[in-house]
Amino acid sequence: MTSGKHTARLVAAALLGVVRWTAPAETIELPSVRDNTLYEDALGGLSNGAGEHFFVGTTGGGGIRRGLLRFDLAPIPEDARITGAVIHLHLSRTPLAGTPVRFHRALADWGEGDSNAGDRSGGGAPAKPGDATWLHTFHDAQFWAAAGGDFATPASGTFTANGVGFYPWTATPGMLDDLQVWVNDPSVNFGWCMTGDEEEVSANRFDTRENIVPSNRPRLTVEYVVPPPCPADLNGDGRVDLADVSAFQNGFGISEGATPDQGDTDGDGDVDLLDYRLLASALGSTCP
Ligand SMILES: [Ca+2]
Ligand SMILES: [Ca+2]
Ligand SMILES: [Ca+2]
């Protein structure tokens, strides 16, 4: 492999978050902790915080619906590297197959009050205190910067709904980025705002965490690895010093299967100058 290709592979691996630390990947399953629907409404008076469904798309009457969905990632260590995720949703009613469902990173906190639209949930119910609405993050005193919710564009991931059923959607790289940001800084985890086709009749009805059937409720499985506590301390004596540099020199050039004690400080399986950069930046420090 030429050094140019080698470097390109390293950069690609870093971008993809590919890691091969000796610690095995952990998998955790998390339930939705909050979900709601933004019902297009100039008065911001509709919500469905406690209802059994949320909506994404456009109703037969032309009203836009956007879903809000949040998972609490606190069980995952803040220094974990997210390596994969699957979001599990149950679609329980749809006007047609083949509609897009987009996940956007929500940019403001939002609430879930006691409103419950029951069987007529497509139309929403009068918003209750603390509910998210088309205008409010928390009804009736706190507002989105923009009507219809504050969320990042373009979407982090787009999928296609093809009729009623269970959807295990494998998180896209953009969604893994969202999860990584939220794990590193829980204060900005406002979950995803989900949008659909806002031009055609397309309102997909998904089941919420309040759904009477537990297996229909949204959940997220996340795979992650936790880095060794002090990756530059190659010999494990609690300090990063010249003895570690010496160990690195011995391992330098290993192209695959390297372990941390051989100098693979970044966990990608080889021992190269990227590992030395991490070692050099920690030189002289003691481990926590
Ligand atoms: Ca809810
Ligand atoms: Ca050491
Ligand atoms: Ca390496």
Alpha carbon of 152 to ligand 1 centroid (Å): 22
Which numbered ligand comes closest to the C-alpha of 263? 3
Residue type, 47: S
Contact of 158 with 87, CB cutoff 8 Å: no
User: What tokens appear for 63 in the block?
Assistant: 């009203």
Contact of 69 with 220, CB cutoff 8 Å: no
Alpha carbon of 209 to ligand 1 centroid (Å): 6
Q: State how beta strands 204-207 and 219-225 pair.
A: unpaired
The 3-state DSSP class for residue 53 equals strand
Closest by alpha carbon to 49, among 216, 188, 209, 192?
209
**Residues facing residue 67 across a β-bridge:** 37, 194
Q: Mean pLDDT in each 10-residue stretch from start to end of the chain (288 residues)? A: 47 45 80 98 98 97 97 94 96 94 98 95 95 98 98 98 97 98 97 97 97 98 89 93 95 90 88 94 92
Say what the pLDDT of residue 21 is: 52
Positive or negative CA dihedral for 50, 53, 55, 59?
A: negative
Domain ranges of the chain: 26-225, 229-288
Which numbered ligand comes closest to the C-alpha of 243? 2
Alpha carbon of 271 to ligand 2 centroid (Å): 17
CATH of domain 229-288: 1.10.1330.10
Contact of 194 with 104, CB cutoff 8 Å: yes
Which numbered ligand comes closest to the C-alpha of 268? 3
Say what the pLDDT of residue 1 is: 41
Say what the pLDDT of residue 191 is: 98
Return residues with CB closer than 5 A to ligand 3 (ion).
264, 266, 268, 270, 275
Alpha carbon of 286 to ligand 2 centroid (Å): 8
The whole model's pTM is what? 0.81
Alpha carbon of 136 to ligand 3 centroid (Å): 47
Which numbered ligand comes closest to the C-alpha of 240? 2
The 3-state DSSP class for residue 158 equals strand
